[in-house]
Amino acid sequence: MSTNIPAQFYDAPDGDPGLDDGGPPAFAQVPPQDLHAEQSVLGTFLLSGSPGNASYRFFTETLETGIRAEEYYRPAHATIHRAVCHLHSAGEPVDAVTVTAELTRVGELARVGGPSYLHTCIQAVPTAANGSHYAEIVRAKAYRRAVIGAAQRILEYAYSEEGNEDEVRDLVEQQLTEIIAGTPGLHEAPPLVGDLYLDFVADLEDIQNGKQMGLTYGYEDLNTITSGMQPGNVTVVAAQSGVGKSTFALNVAVAAAKTGAKTMFTSLEMSANELMQKITAADGKLALHHLTHKGALTAEGWDTVTRLGPELFRTLPLRVYRPDGASLGDIASAARASARADGLDLLVVDYAQLVEVEQSRNASREQAVASVSRGLKNLSTQLGCHVIVLSQLNDDGLMRESRAIKNDASVVIKVERPDADDKESARSGEVDLVIEKNRFGPTGCVTVAAQLHYSRFVDMPQG
């Protein structure tokens, strides 16, 4: 297998495998390594490191293996990896051009072999889809080198005849503990229930004293039944077209943001301007059609719009994301960027069936939506945020491609309007939020009032 590594990177005659910038310690034998796998990892990053790239998920999957710069055998590879991670953490795209610029900025470009070596790494990749597998190979080789290093330190100390028996034993235990802890894929032991007890009691006291543990939905009865929106969980809001699920979700996003929750609303249907119109109508109690038709806005209405600037929009921690495409990778990238910027507590995705994922030709639409659902669930766990994902209902009231969506959700809310098909209904203007699944309490139905001319739902009047 050819690794296509320039001559200046071959091992020196004395066995030192690194460059003059400091490399791995010298070994009597050539230590475990796979330079082709190292190049393939870096090539995967360079090929798939732009969020708009269709293969971006290969970048994230490779990075999520936990591979670190220190695990590369070649110091040049470690330097390139650090440049990749710096760009990624800054929310910048990663490719041969941007990494070249970053290496130039830190004065390391010549030491890694110049721009041509980055292209060598790209050419070394059999397929970026296997990037995570290449990373695991690199990590496994690094682990073996660490084992050899620990064994050498133990041998050297034993041969030196320094210290007493207890000190030798302490060194052996320390070295073995560090090696076991560093095993790729090995996690720390989960906490004991005794360690969790005090936190549990503190949370229980808060709950019994009436403290809401999750983010607010903005509707009192819905908060009571569900205990609000918990981090790391998913709420599915399902409805037929035209019932108002987007309006409901946007109302929830604004209500949560008003409490200080960092929120990102992703719309695959409406433009950013349409979303702004809906928020303005709901908070300013302005008829939505007055904001969308020429000359319909009164002077008083203009005063309201002007007032909402400093009173609402400039202080509301709500981001609106309208991607050019509709891929899950784009949404995940934007969510991570938001989390890095100032945190992310709530992510809303409107709606699941419009999100695109990479899939094989033989995959069904249900499998594609299942990938979206699982991806959003994983994202909620990784970022510690709550996710609201909207889902379209068929005419028969069933959720499209519903099995995976419902399985991944902690709460499923179906939005129903009794007057949608019967304009003479005695319940005209009412909306039922039917809680079909609730991991935090009972199921049930919460009725709210529809004020769709203001683009909002509100709690029903009491009494």
Q: How far is CA 84 from the centre of its chain?
A: 18
Q: What is the pLDDT of residue 26?
A: 47
pLDDT confidence of 396, banded at 50, 70, 90? low
Statement to judge: residues 170 and 277 lie in one domain: no
What are 298's two structure tokens?
Answer: 């009164």
Of 263 and 353, the one with more pLDDT? 263
Within a domain: residue 330?
A: yes
Same structural domain, 114 and 48: yes
* Distance from C-alpha of 375 to C-alpha of 73, rounded to nearest angstrom: 33
pLDDT, tens digit, 9 for 90 and up, residues 23-77: 444 455 788 999 999 999 999 999 998 876 778 889 988 988 889 999 999 999 9
Domain co-membership, 241 together with 166: no
Which CATH number belongs to the domain containing residue 167 in this structure?
1.10.860.10
Q: What pTM was computed for the model?
A: 0.61
Which CATH number characterizes residue 323's domain? 3.40.50.300
- According to the model, what pLDDT value does residue 43 have? 95
Report the domain count for the chain.
2
Torsion of CA 211, 250, 60, 234, to 10 degrees: 50
Q: How far is CA 189 from CA 65, 119, 185, in A?
A: 19, 41, 12
- What's residue 388's pLDDT? 94
For residue 325, is it within any domain? Answer: yes
Q: Phi-psi category of 255—alpha, beta or left, where left has phi over 0 and alpha has psi -120 to 50?
A: alpha
Q: Is residue 357 part of a domain?
A: yes
Q: What is the dihedral of CA 88, 92, 93, 98, to 10 degrees?
A: -100
- Reported as a pLDDT band with limits 50, 70 and 90, residue 398 is low
Same domain, yes or no, for 249 and 362? Answer: yes
146 and 271 in one domain?
Answer: no
Residues 109-128: pLDDT tens digits? Answer: 999 999 999 999 999 999 99
Residue 319 scores a pLDDT above 80: yes
Q: Are residues 147 and 235 in the same domain?
A: no
User: Are residue 313 and residue 436 in the same domain, yes or no?
Assistant: yes
Residue 230 and residue 148 share a domain? no
Q: Residue type at 223?
A: N
Residue 70 and residue 20 in one domain:
yes
Q: Are residues 175 and 226 in the same domain?
A: no
Q: Which residues contact 157 (CB under 8 A, 6 or more apart)?
A: 163, 168, 171
Final residue in a domain of this structure, among 128, 159, 181: 181
Q: How far is CA 173 from CA 152, 181, 295, 380, in A?
A: 14, 12, 80, 39
Q: pLDDT (tens digit, 9 = 90+) per residue, 196-211?
A: 888 888 888 887 887 7
Show the domain range for 277: 220-459
Q: What's the whole-number mean pLDDT along residues 449-459? A: 90
Do residue 349 and residue 453 come from a single domain? Answer: yes
Question: Among 181, 212, 244, which residue terminates a domain?
Answer: 181
Residue 205 lies in a domain: no
pLDDT digits 0-9 by tens, 255-288:
999 999 999 999 888 888 898 999 999 988 888 8
Domain stop point among 155, 181, 207: 181
Q: Do 316 and 383 fall within a single domain? A: yes
